[in-house]
Amino acid sequence: MNDLEFPMRYMMLIYSRESTEPLTADEDRQIREGHRVVMEEAARRGILHGCDPLAPTALATTVRSENGKVTITDGPFAETKEQLAGYYILDCKDLDEALEWASKIPTGCAGQSGCVEVRPFRNTAPPGQDRGSTSGQP
């Protein structure tokens, strides 16, 4: 049970500037520690419904369906006119299956048609290892 009587559910979206420089071990530790504090606290209160780190935008693919025609492009969603309106987290066999799901997701809820950016969670398929999923920890 959570400790709120009438809870509202909020999506917290982390926007971060991508850098080509990897984090130093120290920075990485600090960030993990920061996440750990938030997650533990939120979990203790029973309000945590999931959190995961995403892979970088280099692995993103964007799906746009307009008038029944599906267009797939490399890279993240880049328009500033369209605003984030919701999300799905789905387990799929591979990118093609994910793209097929993405093409079925309606994007018109905010008024006009938009697109869906598909990005894998970080660490779900370590290179060179078998492809079973491991749970990603921020």
Partner 1 sequence: MNDDLRSAIESVFKQESGKIIAGLIRVSGSFDLAEEALQDAFAAALIHWQQSGIPEKPAAWITSAAHRKLVDYTRRARTRLDKEDALAYETETSIAPEDPFTGPEAMNFPDDRLRLIFTCCHPAFNAEAQVALTLRTLGGLTTLEIERAFLIPEPTLAQRLVRAKAKIQQARIPYEIPPPRSLPERLTSVQKTIYLIFNEGYAATAGDSLIRRELCAEAIRLGRTLCELMRSEPENVGLLALMLLHDSRRDARVNPQGELVTLEEQDRLLWNREQIVEGLLLVEQALRMRRPGPYQLQSAIAALHSQAEKAEDTDWRQIAALYERLLAMQPSTVIALNHAVAVAMGEDLEKGLTLINRLGESASLDSYYLYHAARADILRRLRRPAEAAEAYKRALSLTANAVERRYLRRRLTAGE
Report CA Rg, the chain.
Answer: 17
Minimum gap (Å) between residue 32 Cβ and partner 1: 21
Report if residue 54 touches partner 1, rule: CB under 8 A: no
Candidate segments 21-29, 43-51, 53-61, 78-86, binder of partner 1 by CB under 8 A: 53-61
- In the shown chain, the binding pattern of residues 60 to 79 toward partner 1, with x for contact by CB under 8 A and - for none, equals xx--------xxxxxx----
Contact (CB, 8 A) for 61 and 126: no
SS3 call for 35: helix
- State the alpha helices, DSSP H only, in the chain: 25-44, 95-104
Around Cβ 62, how many Cβ atoms within 10 Å?
A: 20
Report if residue 94 touches partner 1, rule: CB under 8 A: yes
Minimum gap (Å) between residue 91 Cβ and partner 1: 12
Contact (CB, 8 A) for 51 and 37: no
Q: How many CA atoms lie within 13 A of 102 on its CB side?
A: 25
Candidate segments 9-17, 43-51, 58-66, 109-117, binder of partner 1 by CB under 8 A: 58-66
Q: Using CB under 8 A as the criterion, which residues of the chain lie in contact with partner 1 when the complex forms?
A: 55, 58-61, 70-75, 93-96, 99-100, 119-120, 125, 127-128, 130-131
